[in-house]
A and B are shown apart, each in its own frame.
Chain A
Amino acid sequence: MSSILKRVLGLVVVLLGISLITFTVSHFAPGDKAMAIAHARYPGEQGFAPEILQSIRDELHLEASFWEQYLRWLGAVLQGDFGVSYNTQSSVWSTFVGSIGETVTLSLTALVFGLAGAFALAALAVRRPGSLVDRLAIIVASIGSAMPIYWLSLLLILVFAVHLDWVPAYGTGTLAHLVLPTLALAFWLMASQTRLLRSFILDAYDQPFIETLRLRGISEAEIFFRHVLRHAMLPALTMIGLDFALLLEGAVIVEILFARSGLGALLATSVLSRDLPMVMLLVMFFATTYVVINTLIDIVQMASDPRQRQGGQPTEKSI
Chain B
Amino acid sequence: MVKYSHFVRGLTVAGVAAASFLAVVGAPAHAEDKQMVVAAPFGPTTDTPDPRARQNGWLSNRAGVSETLIGLGYDMSMHPRLAVSYENLSETQWKITLRDGVVFHDGTPVTAMAVKESFSKLDEEGHAGHNPRLSKLLDIQSIDTPDDHTLIFTTNAPNSAFLWSLTEPSAAVMKDGTEEMPLVGTGPFIFEMAETDKTYVTRAFADYWGGAPKLDRLVIDAISDPSVAALALQSGDVDLVTNYPEPDFAKLKDAGEGQLFLGATTRLFFYQPRVNGGPLANPVVRQAVSLGLDRETIVAAALAGVGGDAANTIFPANMTSWVNPDLSLSYDPAKAQALLDEAGITDTDGNGIREIDGQDIVLKLRSYEGRAALRPTLEMTQVLLQQIGISVEIAMGEFGANNEALAAGEIDMHLQAWGTAPQGDPDYFPSSLVATGGSSNVVGYSNPELDALLEEGRRLFTTEERQPIYAKVQAIINEDLPVIPVFHKTQVSVGNGKVVGYEIHPAETYFASPELDLAD
Residues of B within 8 A of A228 (CB): 2
**A44-B237 CB under 8 A given contacts A39-B399, A116-B11, A127-B1:** no
Q: Is the CB of B198 within 8 A of A45?
A: no
Shortest Cβ distance from residue A30 to the other chain B in the assembled complex, whole angstroms: 4
A179 engages B133 (CB within 8 Å): no
Kindly specify which of A68-76, A138-146, A241-249, A251-259 makes contact with the partner chain: A251-259
Asked if B237 and A30 sit within 8 Å, CB to CB, the answer is no
* B422 is an interface residue with CB less than 8 A from chain A: yes
- Pair B15/A49 contact, Cβ less than 8 Å: no
* Nearest CB in chain B: distance from A277 CB, A: 15
* Contacting pair B23 A166 (CB below 8 A): yes
Q: Choose the segment among B64-72, B101-109, B219-227, B305-313 that binds chain A (4+ C-beta atoms closer than 8 Å).
A: B219-227
State which of A42, A126, A176, A269 has its C-beta within 8 Å of the C-beta of B1. Answer: A126
Considering residues B25, B42, B196, B405, which has the most beta carbons from chain A within 10 angstroms of its beta carbon? B196
Q: Would you call A171 an interface residue if the criterion is a C-beta within 8 Å of the partner chain's C-beta atoms?
A: yes
Contact status A167-B398, CB under 8 Å: no
Docked-complex contact A47 and B439, CB < 8 angstroms? yes
Q: Looking at the assembled complex, report how far the CB atom of A54 sits from the nearest CB atom of chain B, in whole angstroms.
A: 11
Q: Which of A41, A166, A171 lies in contact with B221, CB distance below 8 A? A: A171
Residue B359 lies at the interface, judged by CB distance under 8 Å to chain A: no
- Inside 8 A of A257's CB, which chain B residues have their CB? 225, 228
Q: B26: which of A88, A178, A261 is its contact (CB, 8 Å)?
A: A178
- Across the interface, do A170 and B223 meet the contact criterion of CB distance under 8 Å? yes
- Residues of chain A contacted by B54 (CB below 8 angstroms): 41-42
User: Which residues does chain B contribute within 8 Å of A166, judged by CB atoms?
Assistant: 23
Question: Chain A, 24-47, contact with B by CB distance < 8 Å: what is the 0/1 string?
Answer: 000001111101100101111111
B511–chain A nearest beta-carbon distance, Å:
14
Q: B224 touching A256 by the CB < 8 A rule?
A: yes
Say yes or no: A168 contacts B235, CB within 8 Å.
yes
| Known A161-B231, A257-B225; contact A167-B23, beta-carbon cutoff 8 A | yes
A41:B46 contact, CB within 8 angstroms: no
Contact B2 A223 (CB under 8 A): yes
How many chain B residues touch the partner (CB < 8 A)?
A: 69
* 0 or 1 for each of A181-208: is its CB under 8 Å from B? (1 = yes): 0000000000000000000000000000
Q: Do B27 and A176 have beta carbons less than 8 Å apart?
A: yes
Measured between alpha carbons, how far is A43 from B397 in the docked complex, in Å?
A: 18
Flag whether A220 is at the interface (Cβ < 8 A). Answer: yes
Residue B250 at the A interface, CB < 8 A?
Answer: no
Interface contact B404-A31, CB-CB below 8 Å? yes
Name the contact of A154 in the complex, choosing from B196, B228, B236 (C-beta under 8 A).
B228
Given contacts A169-B232, A261-B198, contact A120 B133 (CB under 8 A): no
> Are the C-beta atoms of A87 and B45 separated by less than 8 Å?
yes
How many residues of chain A get a CB closer than 8 Å to chain B's CBs? 72
Verify if B447 is at the interface (C-beta below 8 Å from A): no
| A residues less than 8 Å from B28 (CB atoms) | 168, 174, 176
Whether B432 sits at the interface, judged by CB under 8 Å, is: yes
Say yes or no for B317: interface residue by CB 8 A criterion.
Answer: no
A55 within 8 Å of B (CB atoms): yes
Contact B197–A46 (Cβ < 8 Å): no
Whether A175 contacts B398 by the Cβ 8 Å rule is no
The answer to whether A30 and B196 touch (CB under 8 A), given A42-B55, A176-B26, is: no
**B132 at interface (Cβ–Cβ under 8 A)?**
yes
Is there contact, CB below 8 Å, between B22 and A47? no
State whether B399 touches A88 (Cβ < 8 A). Answer: no
Q: Which of A44-91 contact B (CB under 8 A)?
A: 44-52, 55, 87-88, 90
A35-B237 contact in complex given A117-B15, A170-B232, C-beta closer than 8 Å: no
Residue among B42, B197, B429, B440 making CB contact with A261, cutoff 8 Å? B197
Let me know if B231 and A225 touch, CB within 8 A. Answer: no
> Is the CB–CB distance between A52 and B133 below 8 Å?
yes
Please give, as numbers and ranges, the residues of chain A lying within 8 Å of B136 by CB-CB distance: 49, 51-52
Interface residues of A in 104-138 (CB under 8 A from B): 113, 116-117, 119-120, 123-124, 126-129
Partner of B422, one of A44, A265, A272: A44
A43 to B224, CA, bound (A): 14
Q: Tell yes or no: A165 within 8 A of B by CB.
A: yes
Judge if A95 is at the interface, Cβ distance under 8 Å: yes
A279 beta carbon closer than 8 Å to chain B: no
Q: Which positions 134-148 of chain B face chain A at CB distance < 8 Å?
A: 136
Task: Give complex CA distance A224, B6 in Å.
Answer: 12
Q: Is B279's beta carbon under 8 Å from chain A?
A: no
List which B418-455 residues lie within 8 A (CB) of chain A. Answer: 418-419, 422, 428-429, 432-433, 438-440
CB of B496 within 8 A of chain A?
no
Partner of A43, one of B6, B42, B403: B42
B343 within 8 A of A: no
Whether B259 sits at the interface, judged by CB under 8 Å, is: no
The reply to whether A120 and B237 contact each other, CB–CB distance below 8 Å, is no
Known: A46-B419, A162-B235. A36 touches B398 (CB 8 A): yes
**Shortest Cβ distance from A99 into B: residue:** B196
Which A residue's beta carbon lies closest to that of B369? A272
Q: How far is the CB of A13 from chain B (nearest CB, A)?
A: 32
B470 at the interface (CB under 8 A from A): no
- Measured between beta carbons, the chain A residues less than 8 angstroms from B198 are 171-172, 259-261
In the complex, whether B416 has a CB less than 8 A from a CB of chain A is: yes
Contact A225 B25 (CB under 8 A): no
* A153 (CB) vs chain B CBs: closest residue: B228
A113 to B404, CA, bound (A): 49
Complex: how many Å from CA A224 to CA B7?
10
A123 x B4 contact (CB < 8 A): yes
Cross-chain contact B399 with A36 (CB below 8 angstroms)? yes
> Is there contact, CB below 8 Å, between A259 and B223?
yes
A307 within 8 A of B: no
Binary contact track B249-270/A, C-beta < 8 Å → 1, others 0 = 0000000000000000000000
CB distance from A28 to the nearest CB of B (A): 12
Residue from the list B224, B231, B404, B508 in contact with A30, Cβ < 8 A: B404
Contacts of A127 in B (CB 8 A): 1-2, 5
- 23 residue pairs A–B, Cβ–Cβ below 8 Å: A29-B401, A35-B399, A36-B398, A41-B54, A43-B55, A44-B419, A45-B419, A46-B416, A95-B196, A123-B8, A126-B2, A127-B2, A127-B5, A157-B235, A174-B28, A179-B23, A221-B2, A221-B3, A225-B7, A256-B224, A259-B221, A261-B197, A269-B197
User: Top 5 A-B pairs ranked by shortest CB distance?
Assistant: A176-B26, A175-B26, A47-B432, A31-B401, A31-B400
Binding site for A on B (CB under 8 A): 1-8, 11-12, 14-15, 18-19, 22-23, 25-28, 42, 45-46, 54-55, 58, 132-133, 136, 195-199, 221-225, 227-228, 231-232, 234-237, 370, 397-405, 416, 418-419, 422, 428-429, 432-433, 438-440, 508
Known: A29-B401, A35-B403, A176-B23. 19 other contacts (CB 8 A): A45-B55, A47-B438, A47-B440, A116-B14, A120-B12, A123-B4, A154-B231, A161-B231, A161-B235, A162-B231, A169-B228, A176-B22, A176-B28, A179-B19, A221-B7, A224-B4, A259-B228, A261-B197, A261-B198
